[in-house]
Structure 1
Amino acid sequence: MKRVLIYGGILILMMFLQTSPLNFLKFFGARPDFILAAVIAIALFRGDLEGGIYGLVFGLLQDLLYGDILGINALGKFLTGYLAGYCTRILFRENVLIPIIITFLGSIFHEVIILAVLYFLKFDYPPFLFLARMIVPFALINSIMSTFLYKVFQKTRDAFL
Structure 2
Amino acid sequence: MKWFFRITIFLLLIPVQTLLLEKIQIAGVKPDLALILVYCFSWARGEIHGLLWGVALGGLVDLFSIGLLGVNFILKTTTGLAIGILGRSFLNLSLLWNVLIFFFISLLHDFLGTLLVEGMREGGLFLLAQPDMVGRALYNSLFAVGLLFLFSKRSGEKGSFDHAGVLFSAGGNTRSTE
Gaps of 5+ in 1: none
For 1:64-112, what per-residue CA distance to the aligned partner results, in whole angstroms no more than 9, with x for missing partners? Answer: 1223211111011111122222221232526222431232121112112
Q: Give, in whole Å, the separation in 1 of the partners of 2:103 and 2:69.
A: 25
Partner Cα distance (1:41, 1:7) in 2: 14
Provide Cα deviations, 1:28-49, integer angstroms capped at 9, x if missing partner.
4422101111110001101122
User: Which runs of structure 2 are paired with 1:1-161 in the superposition (5 Å)?
Assistant: 2-93=1-92, 95-120=94-119, 127-157=125-155
Greater C-alpha Rg: 2
- Match for 2:137: what amino acid? A
Relative to 1, partners in 2 of residues 1:9 and 1:154: Cα closer, same or farther, differing over 3 Å? farther
* Structure 2 residue runs without a partner (length 5+): 157-178
Aligned residues of 2:95 and 2:148 also touching (Cα < 8 A): no
RMSD: 2.7
Q: Is the 8 A contact 1:11 1:35 kept in 2?
A: no
**8 Å Cα contact 2:54-2:73 kept in structure 1:** yes
Higher helix share: 1
1:4 Cα offset (Å): 4.8
Cα distance between partner residues in 1 of 2:26 and 2:107: 16
Could you tell me whether the CA contact under 8 Å between 1:29 and 1:133 is conserved in 2?
no
Q: State the one-letter code of the partner of 1:140.
A: L
- For residue 156 of structure 1, report the CA deviation from its aligned partner: 4.9
Note closer, same or farther for the CA distance 1:129–1:10 as it changes in structure 2 (3 Å cut).
Answer: same
Amino acid at match of 2:73: A
The 3-state SS of whatever aligns with 2:129 is helix
Cα 1:92–1:79 shift into 2, 3 Å: closer
Mapped contact 2:115–2:128 kept (Cα < 8 A): no
Which AA in structure 1 matches 2:17? Q
Counterpart amino acid of 1:15?
Answer: I
Given residue 134 of structure 2, which amino acid in structure 1 is its aligned partner? Answer: V
Aligned residues: 156
Deviation at 1:125, TM superposition (A): 8.3
